[in-house]
Amino acid sequence: MSDLLRIAIVGFGEIACRQHVSAIAKTSGAALVAVVDPAKTPSGLPHFRDLTELLRDGPEIDAVALCTPPQVRHVQAAMALAAGKHVLLEKPPGATVSELTPLIAAAHEANRTLFATWHSRYAPAVGPARKLLAGRTISKVTIIWKEDVRVWHPGQTWIFEAGGFGVFDPGINALSILTEILPSQVFVKSAVLDFPANRETPIAAAIELSDANGLPIHAEFDFRQSGPPSWDILCETEAGPVMLSKGGRQLRDGNRLMVDATDEEYPALYRRFVALTSDGKSDVDLAPLRLAADSFMLGRRRFVEAFED
């Protein structure tokens, strides 16, 4: 295997174009050598219609970054691991929780890395927030995660199909931050999920969570917000409020601005991926996915007006 981690992106949609390509270019020890997509043909790179064609006819690769919709990711990951490739999974890592268990076993058996990425955990204010909250007593947490689906997921019809997560596709970013910054495990107590009459996944959700000590955590996700997005987590503590804003790029301790940085999440993800493959390790934390699944399991469905993109 080459000292350079040669990566193929599978699924060349918006997130791959906007984040993965530039992140790989910024990562020492990694190179993008091919793209798999049934429709898009990026210039300057070998292009293949599907993963089978890549593995059969493509250049030598060491890893695949699966940026396809979650409904098809399990089959692709299993195929790549069977071919001896490392696998990076965009979030959410799969359409179900149970499908990840055989992939973890397959990666171990093949001595390959499986990396279930939670990019929002790598936002610049998340680590400082975790350290700050470790010394505080938290009395309440409020999550507001709202955006315009037409702006952030244009033309992505799969997101409203079964297995596409709906508003939990961005909402799981908040859950990934929550499970990273709190010192104790949390669980879902109840949820209300708003399903458009013509869609198979929710467009909005209100979730009540807690930890073993009864910490009240309220989360609101909504795809119908116009204008700028709201990606905020407020933790009320005995020493005052701690606010994570802008999806984890900004941190305030009371009125004091502690972090206000640019988005470097994906370069950090790929540095982590290179390190994992070098060390022969995997990283598959399913906590955010379990919370999303439990919200669907416990959620009371409300049907709302039809949504047209």
As annotated, the active-site residues are 91
Q: What amino acid occupies position 267?
A: P
- How far apart (Å, rounded) are the C-alpha atoms in residues 245 and 210? 21
Rg (CA), the chain: 19
Q: In what order do the strands lie in the sheet with 5-10?
A: 47-48, 30-36, 5-10, 63-66, 86-89, 114-116
Q: Report whether 29 contacts 5 (CB < 8 A).
A: yes
Q: What amino acid occupies position 69?
A: P
- Long-range contacts from 70-78, C-beta under 8 angstroms, 24+ separation: 70/94, 70/95, 70/163, 70/164, 70/165, 71/95, 71/158, 71/161, 71/162, 71/163, 71/164, 74/99, 74/103, 76/10, 76/51, 77/103, 77/114, 78/102, 78/103, 78/106
In this structure, how many other beta carbons lie within 10 angstroms of the beta carbon of residue 101?
12
**Strand boundaries in 70-203, DSSP class E:** 86-89, 114-116, 138-146, 186-196
